[in-house]
Amino acid sequence: MTGASPGRSSRLETPSRLWLLLVAAVAAVLTVGLVAGFSLAGRESSASRTAHETELLYTEVQNLSYSLADANATAATALLIGPETPGQFTSRYNDDITQAEDLLAAASQRVTGDAYASEQLRSVAEQLPAYAGMIGQALAENRLGYPVAGAYLRQASELLTGSMLVETRHVVTEQQGATSGGLGSSTAFPWWEFVLGVLAIAALWAVSRRIAGISRRRLNLGLLGAALSVVVLLVWSLYAAGAVGLEGNSARTDYMGLAAAQTQTSELSLAETYVALQQIDRGEDQGADASAAASALAAASPENRGDARQVDVANAYGTLNTCAQNVIKLANAGNYQQAITQTVGSGANVGGGGCEPAVGALRADLLKVAAIDQAQFDQDMSNVASEYAGGAAFPLALGIGILGAAAAAYGVNRRLAEFR
C-alpha distances in angstroms, 65 versus 47, 72, 164, 167?
26, 11, 9, 10
Look at residue 310 in the predicted model and tell me its pLDDT: 72
Q: Taking the mean position of all CA atoms in its chain, how far away is CA 380?
A: 12
Look at residue 279 in the predicted model and tell me its pLDDT: 92
Contact 179/101 with Cβ under 8 angstroms? no
In a domain, 107, yes or no: yes
Tally of CA atoms within 13 A in the half-sphere of 140 that contains its CB: 7
Look at residue 6 in the predicted model and tell me its pLDDT: 44
Angle 63-64-67 (CA atoms, 0-180°, nearest 5)?
85
Burial (0-12, 13-18, 19+ Cβ within 10 Å), 81: buried
Contact 275/324 with Cβ under 8 angstroms? yes
336-352 pLDDT tens trace: 999 999 999 888 888 88
163-209 pLDDT tens trace: 999 999 999 999 888 888 888 888 888 888 888 889 999 988 988 88
What contacts 323, CB < 8 A, 6 or more positions away?
Answer: 342, 354, 355, 358
Rg of the chain over all Cα atoms, to the nearest angstrom: 33
Q: What are phi and psi of 307, to 5 degrees?
A: -115, 165
CA–CA separation, 204 and 226 (whole Å): 8
SS3 call for 354? coil
Contact 273/69 with Cβ under 8 angstroms? yes
In a domain, 52, yes or no: yes
Look at residue 335 in the predicted model and tell me its pLDDT: 93
Q: How far apart are the first and last CA of the chain?
A: 23
Digit-by-digit pLDDT tens for the chain (420 residues) are 344 444 444 444 667 777 888 888 899 999 988 888 888 888 888 888 887 788 888 889 999 999 999 999 999 999 988 888 888 889 999 999 999 999 999 999 888 878 889 999 999 999 999 999 999 999 999 888 888 999 999 999 999 999 999 999 999 999 888 888 888 888 888 888 888 889 999 988 988 888 777 766 677 888 889 899 999 988 888 888 887 888 888 888 888 888 889 999 999 999 999 999 999 888 777 889 999 999 999 999 887 555 556 778 888 999 999 999 999 999 999 999 999 999 998 888 888 889 999 999 999 999 999 999 989 988 888 888 777 766 677 888 888 889 988 988 888 787 766 665
Look at residue 418 in the predicted model and tell me its pLDDT: 67
In a domain, 68, yes or no: yes
Look at residue 43 in the predicted model and tell me its pLDDT: 82
In a domain, 392, yes or no: yes
| Nearest Cα residue to 149 out of 70, 78, 69 | 78
In a domain, 168, yes or no: yes
- Report the amino acid identity of residue 220: N
CA–CA separation, 337 and 415 (whole Å): 99
In a domain, 5, yes or no: no
Angle 252-256-262 (CA atoms, 0-180°, nearest 5)?
145
The tally of domains found in the chain comes to 1
- The residue segments making up the domain with residue 294 are 15-419
CA–CA separation, 2 and 7 (whole Å): 10
CA–CA separation, 93 and 74 (whole Å): 6
In a domain, 1, yes or no: no
In a domain, 207, yes or no: yes
